[in-house]
Amino acid sequence: MSARYYLACDLGAESGRVMLGRLEDGRVELEEIHRFATVAVRLGDSLRWDVLRLWDDIRAGLRKALARGVAVESVSVDSWGLDYVLSGGGQELLSAPHHYRDPRSEAPFQRAQETPGAKRIFAETGIQMMHINMLYQLLAEQWRSPRLLLLADRFLNIADFVHYLLSGVARAEESLASTTQLYNPATRNWSDWLISFFGLPRHIFPEIVPSGTVLGPVRAALAGELGAGASLQVVATCSHDTGAAVAAVPAEEGEDWAYLSSGTWSLLGVELPAPRLDAAACELNFTNEAGYGGTTRFLKNIVGLWLLQELRRSWAEQGMEYDYAALSREAEQAPAFGALIHPGDGRFSKPGGMPEKIAAYCGEQGAEAPQTVGATVRCVYESLALQYRRTLEEIEAVTGRKITRLHIVGGGSRSECFNQCIADATGREVLAGPVEATAVGNVLLQAVALGHLESLQALRDTVRRSFELKQYLPQRQEEWAQAFDRFLGLGLSG
């Protein structure tokens, strides 16, 4: 097989990158061409995304990649979910899009819990109840900026918006649409009931296309600017970054494995053939997101390495600079089983003052707060690992599956200390890698869309051949069982 090349634009909540993928002889290789920050900006009392800077960085990365002179066949973009861009009146951008951590959606969320109620919304969408979901962001738009919605011709989620800028084709890719809490997994289309109930303008909802849809060539004018050939195709693979990452989980066939996409968020779940919309899934606050090929990503969103990102930011403001590798080393040196927190406490999802929040939480629980950087990071690692154990047990209870293996992909899979904590806490074999699973899934789903790979399983076989996985086996089970009992007694507030 001759080499084939693809470009992946992988946009995370902390950083973005343009990656060049090469597929040859059943193996895939990635090269990072351009990395950049995905910048949130304070504007008055709101938090916004700087999408113009984002688009500028994406174009810069594409120019660098195409200057290599290799025959790139396609490009695809993946991004975080929840956030969107409004266009209308001949304007590509009506306003700077809000960040999902902007507090504007909290009040609409609380009102929707009362009417029509969480159970009714879950039955319609199968999506975990979180105030950051796009449904509540649109309701905030409707209540606070009604004229903006009147001007809008459509919304597009972030990756879909970039696909539109690249191709001129405005579509909502299914995996990304499914995260909005406005998508019905039974009809595989927008929820007309919810749209009507809340009085949202139906015309702004774009056509949904399946994962792996070829949208068409790059716009002619843009192709000239980038130095691209007229045949460079834009592919909507899994535009949701977790969807792309789960597609690249190097699992063999069977039902005894779960995945953890470990980044800003921890997305922990299993792949199902159909959504679970029953009362147990609703009560335990699971989510059903669309995966490649009609699969369902049955998972829970857990506050993840956001905790470390915020700690790192606070320490940097105090003149203490740490990269993530250094933080992991500090944690390895710290004593085990010190302070614990519940990652689901509401205060931890909000930006700012993370060391103080952890200390305050520990004080409320009658425990001593961690006193060093290493002890604080160890607290985060162990607390998250114990939350994963609880979530895996809930998944087993709801689905009836017995999970023996956990695949960890994404940036969090780099930390040996964290991975070992997860194996120990969950009592399950952990297989870590690949780190760049989202970009790998993005690239190889392009290959499937263009007919260069035949199936999702062929994609996963390619991942296993291409990347070395590191195994972690459970240790210190009795001590971790005691820590789990402590964890189950922790309270929630905020």
- Could you list the active site residues? 241
Burial tier of 69 (Cβ tally within 10 Å: 0-12, 13-18, 19+): exposed
Residue 177 token pair: 């649409």
214: closest CA among 187, 231, 237?
Answer: 237
HSE-CB of 149 using CA atoms within 13 angstroms: 17
CB burial of 32-42 (b: ≥16 within 10 Å; e: otherwise) equals ebbebebebee
Residues forming beta bridges with residue 29, ordered by sequence position: 22
Specify burial of residue 147 (Cβ count, 10 A radius: 0-12, 13-18, 19+).
exposed
Pairing, β 265-272 against β 296-303: antiparallel
301: tokens are 């969103």
Return the closest-CA partner of residue 14 out of 234, 288, 312.
312
